[in-house]
A and B are shown apart, each in its own frame.
Chain A
């Protein structure tokens, strides 16, 4: 019997056919792989969050192998001498073991923490991009809501994770969280007792936070992220307006192979940045904080940056205590307003904004094209206003560190925060609005009169005029309408200098010899001219 030759080249095709025969995936997979994504750097910000979430899952799984989520008291006897012999919870002891006795444990812990900060930072930056370009408009309101929820669920994930090591700093944060819960009128004490199973701190909170942090919240995050990405697929990505791009098409790259390869590369870059930060920058040195004890509260105790705005709002809140004369007097503590009411308002506004804006503008159409921030000055102004509000609160959350390191009185910092919180957001709105109008005006001016060439011409009567390069044929005055596209403002955008030299850090090809523009033929060298003489030749 003649043995058939094994054809290596046919293996992938045969395998694919075998799979398709059984699962009929070729047609949907073809649609998926041919899916077109618009390409712009700002569309990659959400991916930073996605990829840091993957790093969080990977490093988090590693940490669970060694972490012991229990508050039973043990005597530490590990390799970190300054805490040896100190009574502490098993959770804190196992965190110290991860840091000092588990091989690679410290960098995993630090990568996990940096990835968490990066996850939240990328969410915020991505959210700003979506907001300022109007990408949340119909039909994408649902995805905006899911994105906002992702921030708040990420907030919970961060806070529960921050509390798990049971160190002096996170214990202080947990005490504040219990105070916030207690401040809620009527149900506060029941909520606290339910969460802590009695008085703070109790003996079970770490175990509860652990299961929330490793199962419930990540599960919710995975579900929300899945729906978020699924909706991006279903509704297709928005794109910037430009030549050939309409509300009814998507111009970009196919998912496979180019876009997938780029995304794979970008994941490596994100992973690399997190690993570098985890190895180079020390974060959350729990061994300095010591085990949590109720009587240990350090100076400069702050939550992670995404929770810091609540710390700031608490620091700025005046001590207005409301006493309701029922019975012996029912007290609503001042803590209730900055830590329960304020975040509640922020959540509601952020979730409802797409609907409020549509109602305000009476605009109920679908939009697949993005808007340049300058074209919608009121929205851009509102965004900057909200950002200013948030930044002032966040800075106030660290106002003691700022006061100490920049030699400012802490009282002055608090009052600056209070006054700034009321004055600066409206001012930011006004300034942003005016800047947007100015940019709009300049766009119209360039469209009407052309690009400034930098060439000054002297007229025969002695006047000087600047030469403009019109953007359209003819005399180029007032013939172009603004279409929401980027308006070229410099001559090399029009091809005057030829295409830019390729390469990001150093040129990867030789620059063209002569300026060549795609629209125009190469500039001919000046023809040789004959010397003009009187006609006589010397002989």
Chain B
């Protein structure tokens, strides 16, 4: 039992080798001195040993980012977690995705998501442009990442011929020749490019949202991005269809096949009813 008692008495008491109990006042005084000494030791050791970078942790957020954090803590925190670190099974970490990702996901109304499904769909935006900028500033200051260049017109000096070739090689596999979008596996899809603005296309290429791969600046240079955007905005959207009033959605032979039966065959069957009825 002696060893059990020794263990209960504590290390310092055993070192003193004096089993007799000191008075209550001395005990209290000694405890206070030991506490102060331990605290000073720990604090000093921390000051000496702590890495310099850690000293800059939790820098003050800019005003915009602080506003963004307030928005984040109301609208995004459920899935992306505190400090945007992500929640397992609900939403990914946003550290390092950059302002480009926020601009695309929130600017096209995809975030906040309505529900968890194969892919978030474009819908009317929840936040104003200013609020999106604040959220973007917060995420940007949180972990850095790609940023869309300033300005609304990002294709001013784009070359549609180069852009067209790059578009067909890099984009048409999913978004189709016409930019109308296409199906991916298990309910995922590449959306139509019709409602996309210059900044959104640029942000999508930089951040690779949802099932889209990232086309970073080392794969497609900013000039080439401008060319692609020029092709999408000018050739695919503004130039219209030289082939007629109706483009049949530019879905290719599938809608053309529907048209030949619904328009051609139906019209001619009525014509044959009319002609055969004239007897």
Contact = CB atoms under 8 A, between A and B. Distances in A.
B251 interface: yes
Contacts of A283: 243, 248, 256
A282 B271 CA distance: 23
Interface stretch (A118-126, A137-145, A352-360): A118-126
A281 B276 contact: no
Interface string B245-256: 111101111111
B231 interface: yes
A contact residues, range: 35 or more
B273 to A, nearest CB: 5
Contacts, number: 213
Interface in B226-279: 231, 234-236, 239, 241-248, 250-257, 259-261, 263-265, 267-269, 271-279
Majority DSSP secondary structure for residues of A touching B: helix
Interface stretch (A186-194, A286-294, A368-376, A442-450): A286-294
A41 interface: yes
A20 interface: no
Interface string A270-310: 10011001111111110111100101111111111100100
A504 B276 CA distance: 11
A285 B242 CA distance: 9
Size class of the contact patch on chain B: 35 or more
Given A279-B244, A300-B251, A410-B183, A404 B235 contact: no
Interface string A68-86: 0000000000000111111
B164 interface: yes
Nearest to A394: B257
A298 B176 contact: yes
Interface string B115-146: 00010000000000000000000000000000
A40 B272 CA distance: 9
Contacts of A403: 183, 189
Given A99-B242, A100-B242, A295-B169, A404 B269 contact: no
Interface stretch (A261-269, A328-336, A382-390, A433-441): A261-269
A273 B267 contact: yes
Nearest to A51: B268
Contacts of A296: 168-169, 172
Contacts of B271: 266, 269-270, 273
A43 B169 CA distance: 49
A398 interface: yes
Nearest to B251: A401
Interface in A43-96: 43-45, 47-48, 81-86
A83 B161 CA distance: 5
B177 A302 contact: no
Nearest to B267: A273
- List the 3 shortest-distance A-B pairs measured between CB atoms, nearest first: A305-B257, A299-B182, A282-B243
Given A117-B264, A305-B260, 14 more contacts: A41-B272, A45-B272, A48-B272, A118-B260, A121-B261, A284-B256, A297-B172, A298-B177, A299-B176, A300-B180, A408-B187, A410-B184, A410-B186, A411-B187
Interface of A: 39-45, 47-48, 81-86, 99-100, 106, 110, 114, 117-118, 121-122, 125, 168-169, 253, 258, 262, 265-266, 269-270, 273-274, 277-285, 287-290, 293, 295-305, 308, 394, 397-398, 400-401, 403-405, 407-412, 504
